[in-house]
Amino acid sequence: MIKKSFIAFMAALVVLPVVASAETSCQSLVITGHPAYMPVAWADQGEIVGAAPELVSAIAHEVGVKKVNSKDYGSWEKAQTAVRNGEADVIFGIYKNDERLKWLDFVEPAFMTDPVSIVVRRGEGFTFSKWEDLKGRKGVTNEGESFGNKFDGFMASSLTVKRAQSVDKAFKALENKSADYLIIALYPGQILARKLGLAAKVEFLPKEVDSFGMYVGFSKKSKCNALKTAFAGRLRKEVEAGRFESILDAARKKAAN
């Protein structure tokens, strides 16, 4: 189970009436996310831990859920499949696109903005000021990743980008020169490069691919779907107050160890 930390954060939450549906059909909630997305989310002994599950768990308890189960499904692709099928109720740290709107009810607003970067081998950088600069080069990214409708469409029609089965393998493809560049979110990319011992071997190009809103979403098949309205109200208060930043900072320090 998610540990009940960040006491100051919990104390700062404004008490809201318990939602009736939580008392009846939603006594427990299964939540999941990316297993390799530090400091937002990462796998740890069968759970997904980090800033996003900490936030989601805290809000879920406040709107009346008694038991919150954070579950690692082994990959980002499998986590999405679990939510799509209704095996998991909630997914966090996910970008919005048209395909995902078919099976997911996104909770507004986004809880953070996530910059996406291009990583290359150190000393082998190239001019990147627009997406077209990636044409003619071999790219790699993690399986299950989406970078918004526009870039996803551009990537499919104009770029050569392979999907690796994990972020570690995506970095490996870059290191062994089977890819010229890696597409990855900046924050987890920086942390993982250090953890994999590649910080001195790679560099992040200064221009971002784009920045995307990072969301919490309820499965359309979840018995707890009715909670999303109360959850959204609570989430908006936290975002507007800027309290997620303290959670993210604590998770960043933990992930760096």
pTM of the model: 0.85
Q: What are 118-165's pLDDT values in tens digits?
A: 999 999 999 999 999 999 999 999 999 999 999 999 999 999 999 999
- Report residue 114 CA to chain centroid gap: 9
- Predicted confidence (pLDDT) at residue 192 exceeds the cutoff of 80: yes
Distance between CA atoms of residues 199 and 194, nearest Å? 5
Which residue, 82, 64, 61, is CA-closest to 144? Answer: 82
50: left (phi over 0), alpha (psi -120 to 50) or beta: left
CATH code: domain 115-211 is 3.40.190.10
Q: What are 17-32's pLDDT values in tens digits?
A: 444 444 446 999 999 9
What are the residue ranges spanned by the domains of the chain? Answer: 7-113+213-256, 115-211
Alpha helix stretches (DSSP H) within the chain: 7-12, 20-24, 51-62, 76-84, 148-158, 167-175, 186-195, 228-241, 244-256
Q: What are 204-216's pLDDT values in tens digits?
A: 999 999 999 999 9
10-19, 27-36, 112-121: range with lowest mean pLDDT: 10-19
SS3 assignment, position 209? coil
The tokens describing 20, both together, are 């009736």
Alpha carbon distance, N-terminus to C-terminus of the chain:
21
Q: Residue 71 phi/psi, 5° resolution? A: -125, 135
C-alpha distances (whole Å) from 245 to each of 39, 72, 114, 204 are: 11, 24, 13, 23
Same fold, 7-113+213-256 and 115-211: yes
CATH superfamily placement of domain 7-113+213-256: Periplasmic binding protein-like II (3.40.190.10)
